[in-house]
Amino acid sequence: MFKRTHTCGELRSNHIDKTVSLNGWIHTVRLHGQVIFIDIRDRYGKTQLVFDSEDYNGNFEQVKKISIEDVISVRGNVRARGSVNPELETGEIEVAVDELLILNETAPLPFMINDRESATEDFRLKYRYLELRTKELQYNLDLRHRTYQVVRKYLSENKFIEVETPVLMKSTPEGARDYLVPSRIHKGRFYALPQSPQTYKQLLMVSGYDRYFQIVKCFRDEDLRADRQPEFTQIDIEMSFIDEEDIISYSTALTRKVFQDVINVELPETFPRITYHDAMNTYGCDRPDLRFGIELKDIKSYTDQSDFNAFKSAEMVKAIIVPGGSKYSRKIIDQLTDYVKTSGAKGLAWMKVQDGVLTGGISKFFVDHLQKTMMVDMELKDGDIILMVGDNTDIVHASLGALRINVAKREGLIIKGDFKPVWVMDFPMFEWDEKAHRHVAMHHPFTAPNPKDIEKLNSDPLHVLSRGYDIVINGSEIGGGSIRIHDTNVQQQVFDLLGINKEEAQAKFGFLLEALTYGAPPHGGIAFGLDRLIMLLADTENIRDVIAFPKTTSAMSLMDNSPSDVSDEQLKELGIALVKQK
RNA sequence: GGAAUCGUAGUUCAGUUGGUUAGAACGCCGGCCUGUCAAGCCGGAGGUCGCGAGUUCGAGUCUCGUCGGUUCCGCCA
């Protein structure tokens, strides 16, 4: 091997007449009989090599045999090109090769490296190390790398200290399913992989590390989505002697810094805030996409006056108005109807606005003066379509919340490169779980209740607001956190409400409860979903595009075929017996 | 746990109401070619139609099951 003097993206016209060595992969071969052009590639770029049979002293027949993705090492002279290639950063020059070494000849490739679309995803995942040679993934991983650096630099400069917490920890009730790790030394007992380092970071506050952060892997054994992997990365932050405003101001500044330094986008100095209540009512969703309008409107007062009886018994009736939607054909409306049905809606009612009147769909159930009132109140315009769902609150919000995003995409209302951050505040502390028949924490059991609501903890727990906050950008929840409970008694009260009795609380969280008795400072924090943040920076809808070795929707790694069977000896050593599945 | 959708040369896809020898492009192999840059031109090889049953004289095509990919609902404190 000739040790490289330059990378494949480095050479410019000021290098002309220099003798250089390059190492890399064959990107393309253009064979013209007596002259051969080869683009050599590494992660820095591409450079054209030329082999001329009249000048090349080596074995020209060997050069002819070179094929795409072979690894080579060359030495030669930089010279100006006859015709410049403006597509290439190194397009002003080429390297006339004197010596060639083929370092590794590639086997026939399962798919084409220069085109990510040339193979289906399962194939690319099986050969992920090849897909990682593509420009897009190399760019995305570079974004990710630069984000780590910006985060570490910003937080370090602000006196945050990076502390590693255990990956083998105690399994906790509540929240996501844990990934369990059997203990060999203590047969029959298990560690869990952290869903987040939540308890550890709170203990670090008790220990006096008043500004902590960590870029840390977290694990949740739940079903996957386009933006969810079983193992993912958080930027975990916790601070002492602070309130919500401190966390929000540092987090806003950190987010702005990342967007500025990584993709050169300037976000507003402060991010707008919305309450959970308003977000649900206006957008049907606790992570609203504010890049477009199409707000949910409560229309129950109108439908109750109409002759359309299907909505009379509905708990809630809401509508979205799509400008220009009156062009929708029966077929498109059917598609939208099927779409809202996936969120539990029984159907999708509609009316079009044409020539100043409501027409089609269920419009015949609305008498003239009612139509006029609606036109004025809702500021309806010719060309609009009203899409309506009546059902219980959850279904109305879920279905119309999803539909507004669907139609916004359909209508091209989402502008590329537009970022609309928002803080969502004032979450309820608890939700009622119908199946389990008990209260569950909306955020997590360590979230502090709003002091104003503290007396309602016993009388009216579902109306207690928490001191939690989420940061949302473009409909993606990229972070969330809270001010924590730092008082043992309040913590015990919350556990009671969650149906975790004293014994269980002691067994599961005794260490934390006890720690809170030894001088626990007021504290709070936030965790950013790093992968989702990178998705925004990389402008991709899929989390697999920002993770080097991701898993499939069924949590498999197609590359190494995990999870896989283990030997009987391994199981025996752990004291584990498998139950035969039928 | 549920729903939708996809699975055909190495790869991406086409394949008619079920009917003769399953096609194309790219890649691969061989040949020609001294200025290309997705090089070009000529030729060739390459298929258990995911897997398993069933219906039928006959299945890539229809039915059922199963495995795998993707997306969504449930789930994700």
Q: What does the pLDDT look like over A11-52, one tens digit per residue?
A: 999 999 999 999 999 999 999 999 999 999 999 999 999 999
Q: Which helix (H) or strand (E) holds A340?
A: helix A330-341
What is the C-alpha to C-alpha distance for residues A389 and A395, in angstroms, rounded to an integer?
9
Residue A574 confidence (pLDDT)? 95
Under DSSP, the state recorded for A485 is P
Q: Where residue A466 falls among pLDDT bands split at 50, 70, 90?
A: very high
- Please, is A530 exposed, middle or buried when counting C-beta atoms within 10 Å of its C-beta (0-12, 13-18, 19+)? buried
Residue A345 confidence (pLDDT)? 92
- Distance in Å from B44's C1' to A402's CA comes to 54
More confident of the two residues A580 and A341: A341
Please list the alpha-helical segments (H only) found in A20-96.
60-64
ipTM of the complex: 0.90
Q: In the predicted model, is pLDDT for residue A145 greater than 80?
A: yes
**Tokens standing for A9?**
């993206």
Please list the alpha-helical segments (H only) found in A342-448.
368-377, 393-410
Residue A114 confidence (pLDDT)? 78
Please give the C-alpha separations between residue A559 and each of A55, A126, A233, A531, A562, in angstroms, as whole numbers: 44, 4, 21, 21, 8
What is the C-alpha to C-alpha distance for residues A183 and A202, in angstroms, rounded to an integer?
26
The average pLDDT across A188-202 equals 95
Residue A433 confidence (pLDDT)? 83
Strands A161-162 and A211-219: parallel
- Distance in Å from B3's C1' to A149's CA comes to 42
Q: Where residue A500 falls among pLDDT bands split at 50, 70, 90?
A: confident
Nucleotide showing the shortest C1' distance to residue A343 CA: B73
Contact A321, A378 (CB under 8 A): yes
Nucleotide showing the shortest C1' distance to residue A468 CA: B77
The residue behind tokens 């979205």 is A320
List the nucleotides on chain B closer than 7 A to a protein CB. Answer: 1-3, 10-13, 26-29, 32-40, 68-77
- Distance in Å from B25's C1' to A544's CA comes to 29
**Nucleotide B7, nearest residue via CA and C1':** A120
- Distance in Å from B20's C1' to A410's CA comes to 47
What is the C-alpha to C-alpha distance for residues A516 and A486, in angstroms, rounded to an integer?
6
Question: b/e map of A397-430 (b: 16 or more CB within 10 Å)?
Answer: bbbbbbbbbebbeeeebeeeeebbbbbbbbbbbb
Q: Coil, helix or strand for A277?
A: helix
Phi, psi of A489 (to 5 degrees): -65, -45
Residue A581 confidence (pLDDT)? 59
**Nucleotide B40, nearest residue via CA and C1':** A32
Q: Where residue A110 falls among pLDDT bands split at 50, 70, 90?
A: confident
Residue A81 confidence (pLDDT)? 94
Nucleotide showing the shortest C1' distance to residue A446 CA: B77
Instruction: Out of A110-114, A412-416, A482-486, A489-493, pick the least confident.
Output: A110-114
Q: Does pTM surpass 0.90? A: yes
Residue A437 confidence (pLDDT)? 82
Q: Where residue A582 falls among pLDDT bands split at 50, 70, 90?
A: very low
- Distance in Å from B18's C1' to A120's CA comes to 30
